[in-house]
Amino acid sequence: MPSPASYLLINPAKPSSFRRLPPPPPSPRLPTRRLHVSCDAPRGSGRSGGVGGRRETIPAGASKAKKQIVFFDAAPPVSQPQPQQGGSVVEKGESEKPTKEGSGNAALSLLRRATKKTLAALSNLPLAISEMFTIAALMALGTVIDQGEAPSYYFEKFPEDNPVFGFITWRWILTPGFDHMFSSPVFLGLLALLAASLMACTYTTQLPMVKVARRWSFTHSGERIRKQEFADSLPRASIQDLGVILMGAGYEVFTKGPSLYAFKGLAGRYAPIGVHLAMLFIMAGATLSATGSFKGSVDVPQGLNFVIGDVMKPRGVLSVAPDVFNTEVHVNRFYMEYYDSGEVSQFYSDLSLFNLDGKEVMRKTIKVNDPLRYGGITIYQTDWGFSALQVKKNGEGPFNLAMAQLKLNGDKKLFGTFLPLEDSNASNPSVKGISMLARDLQSIVLYDQDGKFVGVRRPSSKLPIEINGNEILIEDAIGSTGLDLKTDPGVPIVYAGFGALMLTTCISYLSHSQIWALQDGSTVVVGGKTNRAKLEFSEEMNRLLDKVPELIGANENVVDSKSTAT
């Protein structure tokens, strides 16, 4: 049912469409300033070919003679239509070069052919798509299978005598390394293959497309214009009016004699290349991150210090320890803030950095979401612990009681300590004493020597409590801060890639629209195509073409002037 025109409308304007774009020989292409840009379409022979279409078109010679109007300031020097022969000579010279070199060295040509074949294979779209599908599937699998467990876990979960789904045993998981999917050779290899495909596609498909899109092509064949995805003809109209209207709509317009070429959103045509390059940047940065970074984590009680180099472990072969690793970090203070409901709202660590000479080089209070950065090292607040409890017993002390973390299901933490009330010796191993439990640094729950609940005390309250005849005063609760440290040389590259990717994906939303028009007597034939927003394009075109004023009485003149010109 679709009419031929609608069939054309669904035709894709896709990256490879540039192959269809080069004009048929009859329309003499305007040589632009970049003559070295080569094109597959035979250009020189075009002169001898018959003029395309049933419609009489204006020969190039005539158009040369006519005045040229370039509407746009930044237009290329279209006003220098060089002799056609000159152009073809340059063409020939370029096309002959590779063959000469090829015959000179057989091995080199073989290598070149092999490279070409590899490139063609890699830039193959179905291959790239299947790579992406496989990677997506592997990633999904990586979230389904528990990652990073000990082999015994997999032996137990995927037993050989009772396979999951009848065939999946631990061999299926451990052999390809699916227990650590995101660092398994299969996965990384596929990513590398995808990167290779990206590069090959950029090189073989996208870059040539730029060359084609970059030249403005006028067409002198009404037939070709009519064959565009969008085509219309305006009776009694002037191509100049159309040009002005298109300019008003943001098009860059070039006219040459009776023909017009206009385009908009060229950046949308280039942006996918940027997307690919940005992806490559991110991949390169991630590779550097994986091979050249240091990581470490440390649990430091308040008031103590550590040397950065002691906790950092290299993660890859390229990890080189920087000088700042001899910096000493001192935890001045660790504290938490709480909501009214008693839940933790934020963790803070007041850190000071000292260099080898013992001079303080930096001091900052870090919190979650606000790390410290110094000389390529980033220190994150990630965890917390309860290091010790300062307790006075009957006015003696204070004693520092070390807190131990008790095993508990779930995310909640629980710490406990024990204050013995009698000396322990060999004859009396089961010492009785006071137990103290704490969920956070705010409140301590105390139990007497029979294990009965006695009361709750806040470390800040300075309120003593009487247990089994002893007066216990909790002086202070000392927390410990859990810090993560890292150096990552890949981050700047990855961030550059991120920025480029955001920008280029946004620009990719633009569609590259091209419009050709030809003054054919008193009628203007308009045709155009776009690579993305097809519906919007035809709507916009209809709206714009409606604005083109209808010339009354002037049509005779146009025909006259034309006939004299030809």
* Of residues 222, 229, 220, 240, the one with CA closest to residue 548: 240
C-alpha Rg value of the chain to the nearest Å: 38
Binds other proteins by CB under 8 A, chosen from 89, 110, 120, 132: 132
Nearer to other proteins, 26 or 285 (CB): 285
* Smallest distance, other proteins to C-beta of residue 545, A: 9
Instruction: Please say whether the beta carbons of 29 and 23 come within 8 A.
Output: yes
The token pair at 410 is 């779930």
Q: Cα(239)–Cα(138) distance, rounded to whole angstroms?
A: 57
Q: Which strands, in side-by-side order, build the sheet including 444-447?
A: 404-405, 415-420, 433-438, 444-447, 453-457
Binds other proteins by CB under 8 A, chosen from 317, 535, 563, 564: 535
* Smallest distance, other proteins to C-beta of residue 534, A: 5
428 lies in the binding site for other proteins (CB under 8 A) = no
Q: Cα(57)–Cα(518) distance, rounded to whole angstroms?
A: 9
Nearer to other proteins, 25 or 371 (CB): 371
Nearer to other proteins, 69 or 503 (CB): 503
Binds other proteins by CB under 8 A, chosen from 168, 408, 431, 502: 502
The token pair at 506 is 């946004």
Nearer to other proteins, 329 or 446 (CB): 329
- Given phi > 0 = left and psi -120 to 50 = alpha, else beta, which region is 254? beta
Binds other proteins by CB under 8 A, chosen from 142, 163, 177, 301: 142
Binds other proteins by CB under 8 A, chosen from 182, 304, 420, 424: 182
Nearer to other proteins, 349 or 417 (CB): 349
Name the amino acid, one letter, at 34: R
Classify strands 404-405 and 415-420 as parallel, antiparallel or unpaired: antiparallel
408 lies in the binding site for other proteins (CB under 8 A) = no
284 lies in the binding site for other proteins (CB under 8 A) = no
Binds other proteins by CB under 8 A, chosen from 369, 409, 430, 564: 369
Angle (CA) 552-556-562 rounded to 5° is: 125
Nearer to other proteins, 493 or 558 (CB): 493
First-to-last alpha carbon distance for the chain, in angstroms, is: 42
143 lies in the binding site for other proteins (CB under 8 A) = yes
Please identify which residue in the block is written with the tokens 């729950």: 445
Residues 145-174 that bind other proteins (CB under 8 A): 147
409 lies in the binding site for other proteins (CB under 8 A) = no
Nearer to other proteins, 160 or 546 (CB): 546
508 lies in the binding site for other proteins (CB under 8 A) = yes
284: Cβ–Cβ under 8 A, 6 or more apart, which residues? 493, 497
* Smallest distance, other proteins to C-beta of residue 73, A: 30
- Please tell me whether the peptide bond between 235 and the residue prior to it is cis, using omega within 30 degrees of 0: no
73 lies in the binding site for other proteins (CB under 8 A) = no
139 lies in the binding site for other proteins (CB under 8 A) = yes
365 lies in the binding site for other proteins (CB under 8 A) = no
The token pair at 42 is 């035979």
Following CA atoms 520, 523, 524, 528 in sequence, which dihedral angle do they give, to the nearest 10 degrees?
-100
* Smallest distance, other proteins to C-beta of residue 53, A: 22
498 lies in the binding site for other proteins (CB under 8 A) = yes
Binds other proteins by CB under 8 A, chosen from 65, 114, 121, 140: 140
Count of residues in contact with other proteins, rule CB under 8 A: 70
3-state secondary structure 371-391: CEEECCEEEEEEEEEEEEEEE
* Of residues 313, 347, 311, the one with CA closest to residue 481: 347
The token pair at 128 is 């790239």
* Smallest distance, other proteins to C-beta of residue 158, A: 19
* Smallest distance, other proteins to C-beta of residue 373, A: 10
* Smallest distance, other proteins to C-beta of residue 111, A: 30
14 lies in the binding site for other proteins (CB under 8 A) = yes
102 lies in the binding site for other proteins (CB under 8 A) = no
The token pair at 92 is 């020939």
Q: Cα(279)–Cα(508) distance, rounded to whole angstroms?
A: 14
Nearer to other proteins, 187 or 251 (CB): 187
550 lies in the binding site for other proteins (CB under 8 A) = no
Please count the residues of the chain. 566
- Given phi > 0 = left and psi -120 to 50 = alpha, else beta, which region is 123? alpha
451 lies in the binding site for other proteins (CB under 8 A) = no
Helix or strand holding residue 352 (H, E): strand 344-354
* Smallest distance, other proteins to C-beta of residue 306, A: 17
Q: Cα-flanking dihedrals φ and ψ of residue 297, to 5°?
A: -140, 150
6 lies in the binding site for other proteins (CB under 8 A) = yes
Nearer to other proteins, 14 or 34 (CB): 14
2 lies in the binding site for other proteins (CB under 8 A) = yes
21 lies in the binding site for other proteins (CB under 8 A) = no
Scanning 26-34, 341-349, 436-444, 448-456 for contacts with other proteins by CB under 8 A, the matching segment is 341-349
141: Cβ–Cβ under 8 A, 6 or more apart, which residues? 178, 181
3-state secondary structure of 368: coil
516 lies in the binding site for other proteins (CB under 8 A) = no
Judged by the rule CB under 8 A, the positions of this chain that interact with other proteins are 1-3, 5-6, 9-12, 14-16, 125-126, 128-129, 132-133, 135-136, 139-140, 142-143, 147, 181-182, 230, 232, 286, 295, 339, 341, 343-347, 367-371, 378, 380, 382, 484, 486, 488, 491, 494-495, 498, 501-502, 505-506, 508-509, 532-536, 538-539, 541-543, 546
